[in-house]
Amino acid sequence: MLPACPEQPAEGEGEGEEGEGEGEPSAVMALLETHLVDTDVDVAITAGFALALRPDGRFAVAYGRNQSANTVECNQFGGGTITVDAWDLVVVDEQADGTFRTRVVDSVPPMPAAVVDVAADPTSGALILAYTGGDPANGACQGSDLRLAVESGDTFTLSTINANAPTGAPCREVVTQQVCNQGDCVGKNPGVAVGADGNVAITWIDEHFCFGDTDIYKSDLEIATGPTGGLALNSVATETGSGWNNTVTIADDGSVLVAYQTLGNTTVYDDPVAGTGPAHDVPDGIYASVSQADGTFNEVLLFERASTTSRVATAHRGGSGYYVAWQDQGTDQLLLYNSVDNGETWTPGFIEQTGNTGKDPAIAFLSDGTFVAAYGHCKDRDDGTQFCSQAQDGVRIAFREPGGAFIRTTFTGDDEDTDGTNVDMAVAADDTVVVLSFNASTSRVVVQRFQKQ
């Protein structure tokens, strides 16, 4: 359980207003500019959004949309086939003259959930996309491969990273119905991070056969690390329903943090290789795993029975350690955990304690050590319902200077629109905070630039 939490400081509302009631804050997060990036492309129904920044600060937005000139044939469960429209994997990127370029990277089978993540090489600026695509899974009309797209000039080089379950790592020995390393439904919920040396870490879910409780509650969390042309495959967690809502971060020393939700409640043996020794349960909840020198991952349960419907965010800063944040459904808080001992132990805290805020959090640091979080805001106080106020919803930014308290500001849009959904964030080299959000009422992709002043 969380320790008793102090009262939060008053929070600013509206277009950049400052907090009040506990003294004026010494700094504010000011809105610099807003871009509507869908001016030349139909967003249609989407399967998640992802944001990346090139070294010069220009942004790129990647997403899947249910619109394509192609079709795909799917094998139905129980026999027979069906032909459906494919989806497009789209990248819209900012040009030096302020215009936007739209490219269709690949045609993919329909996807019911997040389909892509994107990052940029810190030296070349090339975009790196990890996404769900390939052929449809057998018996499920959705992509079944983890795919990689690496930008090369105006085009992308496409490849398949994982097309079926095995990754070379041993399965965890379970007491009943082992399905690890079985099935062809992989590549779900991809995450991608790029280190300072250009090496990448890509995470994804192996859902086995794409249907049924065994697939969902015993899914595996897989990872690929190394250069894009020579990735090594491994497992973070197997047989426990792991990997849902995961994100991945590479630390300065090259170690990797993955945070995720585990849905299962699997019983495993103490000895995962021999399958011997007393059996014990692996509870569901929010986990963090940090890579060790021998290539294994140290998995730590942060909050037992915790659950979320959006991103479990990750970040790292030298001297400050690892951070994990998520909107917790059970406590109606935007929780924040920190580890300063390479993921061995974690200290709980919070960014928000009011309900109906904090969805799709993204977290990062400014160069002066200021911690920044961006997330979807629904309304200011919890009245016991999940109703969102269109007059109050939007993107909320919370930042905390070293040793200080959180300062929060909400940037609302139109009172008639549903603003601030599908939030993502990245920080440029000059400490400009770039935030992506989606206006669900008008199908507009919104990118805003902020700066601490």
Beta strands in 66-152 (DSSP E): 71-75, 81-85, 87-94, 100-108, 116-120, 127-137, 140-152
Which position has the higher pLDDT, 307 or 13? Answer: 307
Q: Which helix (H) or strand (E) holds 214?
A: helix 213-217
Structure tokens at 163: 């097309």
Report the distance separating Cα 365 and Cα 345, nearest Å.
21
Report the distance separating Cα 29 and Cα 451, nearest Å.
6
Predicted pLDDT at 65: 86
Owner of token pair 């090139």: 54
**343 closest CA partner among 256, 265, 447, 432:** 256
pLDDT in tens, 196-205: 999 999 999 9
DSSP state of 76: B
pLDDT in tens, 262-292: 999 888 886 766 667 788 889 999 999 999 9
DSSP lists the bridge partners of residue 82 as: 74
3-state helix, strand, coil in the chain (%, to 5): 0, 55, 45
Q: 0.85 exceeded by the pTM? A: yes
Q: Are 180 and 266 in contact (CB under 8 A)?
A: no
For residue 15, pLDDT over 70 is answered with no
CA 35 to chain centre: 22
Overall average pLDDT of the 21-41 stretch: 75
Q: Are 179 and 198 in contact (CB under 8 A)?
A: no
pLDDT in tens, 289-314: 999 999 899 999 999 999 999 999 99
Report the distance separating Cα 413 and Cα 392, nearest Å.
8
Predicted pLDDT at 160: 97
Q: Are 427 and 419 in contact (CB under 8 A)?
A: no
Report the distance separating Cα 265 and Cα 283, nearest Å.
5
Query: What domains, with CATH codes, occur in the chain?
Result: 29-452 (2.120.10.10)
